[in-house]
Amino acid sequence: MSWKKTSAPSFITGFWDCLVSSDDGTKLAGAVQQRGGIYTSNDSGVTWIKTSAPELDWRSMACSSDGTKLVAVNFNNGGIYTSNDSGVTWIKTSAPDTKWYSVASSADGSKLVAGTTRTGSYTGIWKSNDSGVTWIKTSAIDTISWISLASSADGAKLFAGSSSGGIYTSNDSGVSWIKTSAPNNYCSGLACSTNGTKIISGASGGIWTSNDSGVTWIKTSAPDTEWSSVTSSSDGNKLAATCYSDSNVGIWTSNDSGVNWIKTSAPIVELWFSVASSANGTKLVAVSPYNGIYTSNDSGVTWIQTSAPVDSLWRCVASSSDGTKLVAVIEFDGSIWRSNDSGGTWIKTSAPDLFWSGLACSEDGVKLVAGSYSGSGNGIYTSNDSGVTWIKTSAPELQWFPLACSADGTILFAGTNGSIYKSNDSGVTWIKTSAPEIECDALACSSDGVKLVAGDYNSGGIYTSNDSGVTWIKTSAPDAIWSSVASSAYGTKLVASAKNGGIYTSNNSGVTWIKTSAPDAIWSSVASSSDGIKLVGVTGKDRYYSGSIYMSNDSGVTWELSNVPDNYWFDVASNATGSKLVACNKSSIWVYEEPTPTFIATTSVTETAVGNAELVRDNVSFTISASASASASASASSSVSYENSLALATTLASELASKLANVKLNNELQNIIRF
C-alpha cells in the first residue's frame, strides 16, 4: 500500500516540541516532533537555521551554559545525538535505541542525563560523564516513564519527574535515587537553580516548588491546570511556565520563586509546549506547536513572534466520487485549498481565513460545504463551482464541526455542540433537527440524504435517522468518544471510530454493531467506499500511540497497516470505489491510488486443418484429402478480469495453432503429390 505526499503547502513536518537557551539568551535551539528537524538561532531568535540533524521524532533537548554543546533525544525507538558546535554538526552517540523522552545537561555540557518511557526496549535513566560519548544505566526505577529531568550546574544534583510516580532526586550524579515527598502527578516539566537548591515542577494540577533540593515541596498559587513546561533563572527567583489547556492557556511568570504568578501578554494559542530562560531570567523563548516560536526580552512582559517556520495544520479533506477533485482546509486561522488533478497540484481558494473544522462535497465535486468554529465571519460556507467562489450561508454562527451532504449536494447536514442542522436547498436555508443534544463530532448520510448516522464525542452513543433527521434513535453501539462515522451509499453499511478505542461496523443501518479487529488507537477519521466494502481509518498520536493509516478490503473484518510517516493524521476521504484516498496530517496532504490489478492467464489450444488437392496422372484425375493438427500455448494479461485474460490467451493460442496446422497440412499435401 503506497501513499504519496502531495504538493499541498507545508512548513515544517511535525510540530515544535522543545527549546533550549544559552545563559545569555543569545543562542537558542528548537526541535520538532514527528520526523522534524532541529533549528538554531544565534541572535536571540531573530533568524533561524535548520541544522544538519536528521529528521526524527525529537522529544527533548538540553545545552551547555554557553550554548555550544547540545544534546537531543529521539522518542521513536531512536538514539541520542550531540553537537559540539552549536548545532552545526551532529553525532549519534552510543546510547541505545529506545523511547527517549527527557534529557538534561550540566553547565559545561560534560555530564548528561536522559530518561526513557517504561515501554521502550531499554528503560530507566541513563547518564554520561563525557558529553555523550559513553552511557551508563543508573539505578533509577525501570517501571516508570521519566518525563522530565533537571540538573544542577555541576551535574551532581539531578531531579527526575515521572508520569505517575512522583519526583526523584540524586545527589551523586545519578548513582543513587530517592523519592521525594512531591505528589504523584504527571510531572511534565522540571527546572532548578544552578546550585540545585531551588526546584520548580510543572505538573497536572498545579505548580510546586522546593527550596531545599526536593526534601519538602509547596504548592504555589499558580492555577490548578495542565502545565506543559517550566524554566528558571540561575538563582531560582525568576520562573516561567507554559499552560496548554482551559482558560488559563498561555505563559505565566513569577519573580519571587513561585510565590505569586502573573499571566503574561503572550498570545492565546491552542497549545504552549515549552519555555526556556536566560541565566538572569530576562530573556525568554517559548514555542507553540502550531504557531511557532516567540521571544521576550523583558522577563515575559511583551512577546514577539520570530521567523521560525510554522506548521500549517491540515484539518479536513473531501473527495469527489472519482477521486479527481479534492478539497482540504487548514484549521487555525486557515484557508481552503482545492485540487482538480487528484492532489497533483493545489490552489488556494477565495474562502476567508477562519478556524475551519468541517468539510463535505457532492459526488461530482462541484458543490462544497465548509464549516468553521471561530474567527471573524464564522459560520457555514458553500461553493457551487468546486471552490472557486464561496458564499456564507444563513446558518447561525455556532461552533460547526462535522458536515455531510447528499450525492447531489442538495441536502446538507451540520453538527455542533448540542444540535444537528439540516438544509434542503444546498445551504440557502437551515432548520434545526430533533437530534438529541449531543456533542456531535461525527456525522454521515446516505447518498440520497435519507439515512443519517451521528456519533457523540462526549462519551455517548451513536444515533441514526431514517427520515432525513426528522426522528432519531439511539443505537446499541457502546458509549464512547465517537470521533468519526462513514456510510455506504445506501446507508446500510456503517463504520464508526472511537478515540482511544477501536473501529465498529454495522451491516443493518446501525441496528447492531460489531467491534472489528482494528487496534485500539486515537482514531481521528474513517471513510468508506460507496458499497461499504473498502474502509480506511487514520489515527492521531500521543506519548503512547503512534499515528498511522489502516485499510480494510472486507468491510472491516481485517485491517492492514499502511507505510506512512508516524504523524498525527486528522482526516481521510475516499472516492466511490475506494481506489483513491486522500488523507491529511498536521503538515501535509497524502494521496493513495490503488494499483491497477493484473490478471494473467495461460492456455493451450489444438486446431485441425483439413484440405484437398487435385492432380492428374495418366489422364486420370485424382482428388486427395488430408488433415493436420497442431497445438499452441499462449499467455495474456488484462486489468479487467481473469476471464478476460483467458479469452485473450485462447484467441492468441487458437490463431497460432491454426497457422501451425495449415503449415503442416500444406506440407502433407505436397508430400502426397510428390509421391
Three-state SS string over 386-417 comes to CCCCCEECCCCCCCEEEEEECCCCCCEEEEEE
End-to-end CA distance of the chain: 67
DSSP-derived secondary structure letter, 36: B
452: nearest Cα among 441, 460, 463, 440: 463
Among 47, 608, 522, 39, CA closest to 306: 47
Give the C-alpha separation, 81 to 73, whole Å.
6
The span from the CA of 124 to the CA of 456, in Å, is: 40
pTM above 0.95, yes or no: no
Provide the 3-class DSSP secondary structure of residue 637: strand
Give Cα separations from 571 to 3, 525, 528, 586 (angstroms). Answer: 15, 5, 13, 10
**CATH number belonging to the domain at 16-305, selected among 3.30.1490.20, 3.40.50.12160, 2.130.10.10, 3.90.79.10:** 2.130.10.10
Q: Is 655 exposed, middle or buried (0-12, 13-18, 19+ CB in 10 A)?
A: middle
Do 16-305 and 314-593 fold alike per CATH?
yes
C-alpha cell at 661: 496446422
Instruction: Give the H/E segment covering residue 673.
Output: helix 642-674
Q: Rounded CA gap, 548 and 542, in Å?
A: 12
Q: Write the secondary structure of 615-633 as one string of H (helix), E (strand) and C (coil).
A: EEECCEEEEEEEEEEEEEE
The architecture that CATH gives domain 314-593 is 7 Propeller (2.130)
Are 550 and 488 in contact by the 8 Å Cβ rule? The answer is no
CA separation for the pair 657, 663 (Å, rounded) = 10
Class of residue 531 by CB neighbours under 10 A (exposed 0-12, middle 13-18, buried 19+): middle
| CA dihedral (185, 186, 189, 193) positive or negative | positive
Could you read off the pLDDT of 86-122 as tens digits, one per residue? 999 999 999 999 999 999 999 999 999 999 987 767 8
Q: Maximum distance among all alpha carbons in the chain? A: 135
Return the domain boundaries, the chain. Answer: 16-305, 314-593, 599-674
Q: How many Å apart are CA 65 and CA 44, to the nearest integer?
A: 14
* Cα–Cα nearest to 386, from 460, 476, 326, 469: 326
The whole-number pLDDT of residue 321 equals 87
**Partner residues linked to 222 by β-bridges:** none
Instruction: Please report the pLDDT score of residue 330 as a whole number.
Output: 84
- For residue 317, what are the contacts with CB-CB under 8 A and spacing of at least 6? 326, 327, 328, 359, 571, 572, 573, 582, 583, 584, 589
C-alpha–C-alpha distance, residues 275 and 324, integer Å = 44
Residue 542, judged by CB atoms within 10 A of its CB (0-12, 13-18, 19+), counts as exposed
Strand duo 503-506 + 494-501: pairing: antiparallel
> Which residues does 299 contact at the CB level (< 8 Å), separation at least 6?
238, 253, 255, 281, 282, 284
Return d(Cα 514, Cα 493) in angstroms, integer: 12
The predicted structure's pLDDT at residue 343? 85
Place of cell 497442431: 630
User: pLDDT by residue (tens digit) across 328-381?
Assistant: 988 765 789 999 988 888 888 999 988 899 999 999 999 999 999 887 788 999
A 10 A CB-CB count for 385 gives: 11
- Sign of the C-alpha dihedral computed for residues 489, 492, 493 and 497 taken in this order: positive
Average pLDDT, the chain: 88
Segments of the chain scoring below 70 in pLDDT: 1-2, 4-15, 34-35, 120, 245-246, 269-270, 289-291, 308-312, 332-333, 542-544, 617, 673-675
